[in-house]
Structure 1
Amino acid sequence: MLTLYHARISPNSRRVWITLLEKGLEFELVEVKMDGEQFKPEFLTINPFHHIPVLVDDGFNIVESLAILDYLEVKYPTPAMLPKDAKDLAIARIVQLVTVNELVPATSTFLLQFLGLPGGDPEEIETAQRKIATVLKFFENLLDDRPYFASHNLTLAEVVAGTVVTRLPKVGISLSDYPKLSAWCDRLVARTTWQATEPTPEVVEAFKSIVVARMANSEGRRQEAEGRRQKAKGTHA
């Protein structure tokens, strides 16, 4: 039995969850609460880097979502979720890696907005918006007359990029300038696998509480450090 350790709020976890569903596999879901469960000894035994997702298959622990997707594609090749043609395969891989290396870091700037919280550095947000626009334009140009990237069928490119791009309108980033990409998003969110794995409002609120608590703790530590600095300064005045 396959077991997926995941957090529903995480796009990295979601891409594996969607792939398991798209391939029609039987699996067990184990929710890892991001309030500290990922640091507990029992979880560190399966992933010492305390990240999710982790897929366990008959005692074999697989970390890193892209590695998990490759594992599933090779071990469970039906339905195929990577093209066989060299050019098409390259496009699928490009989409995956551009998402991970370029798009995800830029979208992390909008975490507070996604959670409905105030804050965010205006300059960082502007820089992130430019980076996201570059990626979206690049993706728009990669799409042809086929419904998916380099394929008539859903691929791992969709699973990786789609779990990020479809969230962009929720943080105020419009897809109206990218008609092919917008239509591509509509096709994805209409799929039952997307609907089944969409974070619920309750999940978002729970994660929001964790983020707010972390921000408060960070501010408290900052104030304590500043107090010690001022005290030391007064001592040596």
Structure 2
Amino acid sequence: MLRFYYHPLSPISRRVWIALLEKALPFEPILVNLNGEQRKPAFLALNPFQHVPVLVDGDQRILESLAIMDYLEAKYPEPSLMPQSPEAIAQTRMVQLVTMNELTTKLPALVMAQVSGIPDEDILQHLATGFGFLQEQLGDAPYFGGDRLSLADITAGAAIALMVRLGVSLTDYPALEAWHGRIAARPSWQQTEPDAEGFSVWQRWVSLRIKRFQRQKART
């Protein structure tokens, strides 16, 4: 059976978690407590970079969420989460990489802005550019790439769900807002959505890590 090493509050773990559920694959979830367990020898043997998720399938060990999702798609192709045309494949990867490089990287700043109560206008403008791009890619389709959920929806959805909970509005992007409501209603999203307490824990964890990094940087 597949073994899935994860933490339920990790948005990066959530991508893989949703993919496993959407594919209806049996797996053993193995919680990695990120208050130090990720630095213990047992987990370092799986991932020397000390982060989740990790997927183990027999003798095969896969790190990094995109690599894991690609592996699941190649080895367990039904139901498919990857469109087949070259254009749709390129669009899927574009949406994934824009989400990871341009949107997910702004989550820490959004958390700190919510803590301080002072919006970061530069970050909001950057997100507006990203949302505009995603709405353009979505077009009139219910999902990125067509009528069926894809890896693009999973990657973008896991990030945007957090941004909405952090107070970012999608009102200016009606197609994207409708898409967000559509995926949020899926059982896989509801099963993996952190409750209010878990979301608060994640916010505190992110803000503490940022403050710790800022103190260390100030000392150098």
Q: TM-score, normalised by structure 1?
A: 0.84
Q: 1:152 to 1:218 in 2, by over 3 A?
A: closer
1:73: how far off? 0.2
Q: Does 1:196 align with 2:194?
A: no
1:119: how far off? 6.8
After the TM superposition, which residues 24-173 of structure 1 pair with which residues of structure 2 at under 5 Å, given as runs? 24-112=24-112, 117-118=115-116, 125-173=120-168
Counterpart amino acid of 2:95? V
Query: Secondary structure of the residue that 1:127 maps to in structure 2?
Result: helix
In 2, the alpha carbon distance for the partners of 1:199 and 1:109 equals: 20
Counterpart amino acid of 1:117? V
Could you report, residue by residue, the CA deviation over 1:187-230 in whole angstroms, capped at 9, with x for unpaired residues? 0000000000001223234445545665776688789x59xxxx
Gaps of 5+ in 1: 227-237
In 1, the alpha carbon distance for the partners of 2:142 and 2:195 equals: 27
Counterpart amino acid of 1:70? D
1:117: how far off? 3.3
Root-mean-square deviation over aligned CA pairs: 2.3
Counterpart amino acid of 1:181? L
Asked if the contact 1:9/1:204 (under 8 Å) is kept, the reply is: yes
Counterpart amino acid of 1:200? D
Q: Looking at CA atoms only, which structure, 1 or 2, has the larger radius of gyration? A: 1
Counterpart amino acid of 1:92? T
In 1, the alpha carbon distance for the partners of 2:48 and 2:132 equals: 38
In 2, the alpha carbon distance for the partners of 1:215 and 1:168 equals: 17
Asked if the contact 1:35/1:210 (under 8 Å) is kept, the reply is: no
Could you report, residue by residue, the CA deviation over 1:170-203 in whole angstroms, capped at 9, with x for unpaired residues? 2221101101101100100000000000012232
In 1, the alpha carbon distance for the partners of 2:127 and 2:160 equals: 10
Q: Does 1:183 align with 2:181?
A: no
Query: Secondary structure of the residue that 2:145 maps to in structure 1?
Result: coil
In 1, the alpha carbon distance for the partners of 2:150 and 2:50 equals: 28
Asked if the contact 2:135/2:173 (under 8 Å) is kept, the reply is: yes
Asked if the contact 1:53/1:65 (under 8 Å) is kept, the reply is: yes
In 1, the alpha carbon distance for the partners of 2:214 and 2:107 equals: 23
Q: Using the aligned pairs only, state the percent identity.
A: 44
Q: 1:39 to 1:129 in 2, by over 3 A?
A: same
Counterpart amino acid of 2:138? L
In 2, the alpha carbon distance for the partners of 1:94 and 1:216 equals: 32
Q: What residue in structure 1 maps to residue 8 of structure 2?
A: 8
1:145: how far off? 2.4
1:28: how far off? 0.8
In 2, the alpha carbon distance for the partners of 1:222 and 1:153 equals: 45
Count residues in correspondence.
220
1:68: how far off? 0.2
Query: Secondary structure of the residue that 1:167 maps to in structure 2?
Result: helix
